[in-house]
Structure 1
Amino acid sequence: MRINLLCSRRNLPENLFQERESERWAGIDRGALILLEEDIKPCMAIGDFDSVSEQERDYLESHLVLNPHKSEKDDTDLALGVMQAVEEGYTEIDIYGATGGRLDHFMGVLQILEKPEYEVKNITIRVKDATNIITYLGRGEHKVDRDSEYQYISFLPVMYPTVISLEHFKYPLNHEQLNVGSTLTVSNELLEPEGQVTLHYGGVLMIRSRDAK
């Protein structure tokens, strides 16, 4: 099962709500209010709701069942939302509105992607915005399809050493060890409809990108 999580209106893909209005959505804090404004009723609303006014909170409570978390907590609202989605059986989670704001919040988002429990459970989590798709790849073989909308593909190691092989890419690699500070695997491209990424050791964030329109 797949679900979309909305955090804010920042950097959203064009026509996102029109194209995905029939899909399952969850609102993260103010994201729940935004979904209602777009005539989409979220199946979950997660957060402490400290980013909405008292009037907006009353509006939320008149349309949704809220179980607010305390403001002082050990996880971010988004982390709690991903946890709840996984607990409810979702295995594909797309996150929107999580980029373009505070850098500490964004780095926290990347930590969620790298959480070992989700890799063990084969949970696919993607962070999407108007120009990027970010996901985590762990040890093993991964098929990557060419996407004309996102021409560039980068692989950023999140642990060292990371050893990677790339097949059917413009810049292929064979058991290449990625060292701290290296930019070797930034901005690659697929040459075939499908490429193969093999992580012999370690893990990477795969970022599929396009230039802003």
Structure 2
Amino acid sequence: MIINILAGGPEDLLPDLTEYREESAIWIGVDRGVYYLLKRDIKPLIAFGDFDSVSQEELTLIEGHVGELKRYKPEKNETDMELALNWALGQNPSIVRLFGATGGRLDHLFANVQLLYNPLKANKSAAIYLIDRHNTVFLKEPGTYNIKKNLAEKYISFVPLTLNVTNLTLEGFKFPLKNRHISLGSTLCISNELISDYGTFSFSEGILIVIRSND
């Protein structure tokens, strides 16, 4: 099962959502993201939010087109995106994609990046991606991984989420590494590129943020 979640970040940073409209995919709207979906003729299965970022006219449209609308007070312990993601993970999906989660307020951006950790914390097997027009972001636990060249996102960066990431090895990259330790705050692994159709990266401890980007 694939679940796509669209939040209310700046609309100009959204990718072309038609690329993600698999027949089996379930769409969830978060706050103003529900309106963005309806504008694109995508009907979300369920919607979450306090809806303080939509006009009364837009809210009326949302209420008329979404069957299950979960409304919350602005004063709550979780963000709207976290509430939607927790629901999504409860459906045991194989993939979750987060859109509309970057740009605008930096507190929302950092919170949404940290939400990528939730499946690992909950021992869920779902692969979760944060996607905008210029970036795809995901987390990896220790292991060895293949990564494919993609000219649309030619830059690949590795950023530690934990205090340390140990024995990081990069093969098939313009700037290779061998058993290198990187710590929180390091910029050593920013803006690397693949020189082969495929590369590999591996590490033995820590959690990595992997960012695939274009200009």
The residue type paired with residue 26 of structure 1 is I
Task: Map Cα deviations across residues 1-24 of structure 1 (whole Å, 9 max, x no partner).
Answer: 1121111324012xx134344543
Determine the structure 2 residue equivalent to 1:51.
Answer: 53
8 Å contact kept, 1:142–1:196: yes
Match of 2:151, SS?
Answer: coil
Q: Which residue matches 2:195?
A: 191
Name the residue aligned to 1:31: 33
Q: Is the 8 A contact 1:132 1:208 kept in 2?
A: yes
In 2: Cα distance, 1:93 partner to 1:116 partner: 10
Q: 2:19 is matched by which residue type in structure 1?
A: E
Q: Secondary structure at the match of 1:100?
A: coil
* Most deviating of 46-55 and 162-171: 46-55
Q: CA deviation at 1:106?
A: 0.2
Deviations 1:32-73 (A, max 9, x none): 111112111111211121212233222211111212122211
The letter for the 2-side match of 1:208 is R
Report sequence identity in percent. 38
Q: What do residues 55-103 of structure 1 show as CA deviations (whole Å, max 9, x unaligned)?
A: 3222211111212122211111111111111112222111111111100
State the match for 1:152 in structure 2. 155
Correspondence 1:131 to 2:145: no
* Pair 160,19 (structure 1): closer, same or farther in 2 beyond 3 Å: closer
Residue 14 of structure 2 corresponds to which residue in structure 1? 12
Asked whether the equivalents of residues 48 and 83 of structure 2 are also in contact (C-alpha less than 8 Å), the reply is yes
Map 1:162-177; keep pairs closer than 5 Å.
162-163=165-166, 164-177=168-181
Name the aligned partner's letter for residue 64 of structure 2. Answer: S
Would you say how many aligned residue pairs link Structure 1 and Structure 2? 209
Amino acid at match of 1:12: L
Deviation at 1:116, TM superposition (A): 5.7
AA of the residue aligned to 1:107: F
Which one of 174, 179, 182 corresponds to residue 178 of structure 1?
182
Q: Tell me the SS of whatever aligns to 1:126.
A: strand
Query: 1:5–1:95: 8 Å Cα contact kept in structure 2?
Result: yes
Q: Distance in 2 between matches of 1:132 and 1:119?
A: 25
Question: Tell me, what secondary structure is at the counterpart of 1:88?
Answer: coil
Which piece of structure 1 moves more, 100-109 or 124-133?
124-133
Check whether the contact 1:119–1:138 (CA below 8 A) recurs between aligned residues. Answer: no
TM-fit CA distance, 1:118:
5.1
> Are 2:66 and 1:60 aligned?
no
Q: Is contact 1:49-1:57 (8 Å) kept?
A: yes
Structure 2 residue 117 is matched with structure 1 residue 114: yes
8 Å Cα contact 2:135-2:212 kept in structure 1:
yes
